[in-house]
Structure 1
């Protein structure tokens, strides 16, 4: 007599064999070829059964072979190309054509313009696509890096439109502000981003802007930030603070003649102004009388507002009071010797600073032509920029 335990073991073994046979019967050998839009093979393309760890790689001819069931989905991918999916179904041969479209997400431009995969680099690098510089655009393109790259600090000038912008990567290293900036490289050509007239000592009388700010945002394809001396070793000591590689647009990859038009209009106003008091004027201890603003008068060398009451109806010589010499004011340094300042009403001027500022307007229009053939490519770009600042009589 056969023991019940052995009977159950035999039944269980038979069931497992049946399940294994059904599973194997559902899988078929799927073969095919992976090519690009020009029907060229893509060796190294990855073919994976979706949701599993089963996969293979295409050979030098772009051919592949993999086992999958009719209900499973094959995922085809390759660096720089769009990923596509195909359901196996009843097919035993599946040929696919991959199209380019995701190169900038996986490949960055490194030193000397060499393109490398981000994951293959041994140093910190971060790229920003050129489209980011034309959305809510800045007149100085370097300002557009603010908040987009980790470890990069952007310092804007307070001199108004056309002002300079400083860039530091991972902090300051010198008291000379021009010795802290990274090296800028435009299409393989190094440029200086030093601020003319600034050395970290003394005052900067005129802000002439920074060289990198002259680059047209509409002409930038990508901007890659190489952080630290290891990343920019090929550029020498000038890149000890890192390097920012700017790649400009070209007609490469375009079919036929393309026309691109970009137009932007922005408005600006002071974000926030102080709340001013209109009770007391300039001076100290309730006294004030202007002579030359350097202390020759009564407390006319101070900028605090501890002077006389503005509502007391006083007459006091002031900076903008008329002089006895026609056509001259109290603050005119070239006023004739011996001329006196006529006292004028000592009253408040509410909203005088608020009313000083105007609405700034920036108009930018760009048109570009690009095209290519099998041997060459070309791109022409023209931009018209018109900017009016929030301070009167400032434009660019």
Structure 2
């Protein structure tokens, strides 16, 4: 009886500690921040503020509430006896003071009104890249980078926000120190910064060429002050793949004729692809073994004399 009462008291105290917390999230000037995030630290419990900056969340005494908003410094507040917790978030000076290149000049994030994304240059230093454009893959929102060839150093296909063509293509304008260029043969260690201009405001500077967006690449240059010399050596090697296994003449003829037979059965047409069996094709029976370069034959004692035909017109494939 005493044990039951003691357990009920413990559960009662536990549920009594959980309560509803209300409050308002605003910036340093007192303006409400709609859509600000409120999260109970160490849990998946969270909510967002409404249009007026108000929020409501259920938490226990002693929990830590984390308030965050894009462009502002996060703030942590411990839940005590109060049921109303107001949070004031300060602007993140590091983000607002970041200098980005916009066309023919530079601006800070605080005064920027267009959509510009800047690549973190640490990504270029993270690994060896045969082409600097691969660093944009998965790092810039709205940018699709696709490798279309296996050639080492080849520039991948870059499409910004789905492109402007009907088939979803359209490469952005690439400017290297203000000059139209390409990422091909551009050393990653020579890049100071990469900015991507996304919206239509870029057309006011570059015109119709920037309809698919603009990628601005700024290379490193000398700076006043102490001289510095950096040396970095990277070595990579590509080997030619030479493990191809070619099919023999007998299997080539056999598999091609089998595929035609199965195709005829599938479409219920016994005469389909007849020219590939009876015509002058590599697996057909009507090929000219003397002058046709597309004829494949099995070497037997009956046709071995063809190897001595003048002109060497018979392919050396048997």
Question: Which category describes the TM-score, using the shorter chain as reference length?
Answer: 0.3 to 0.5
- Which structure exhibits the higher relative contact order, with contacts defined as CA atoms closer than 8 Å and separated by 6 or more residues? 1
TM-score by length of 1: 0.40
TM-score by length of 2: 0.48
Pick the structure with more helix per residue. 2
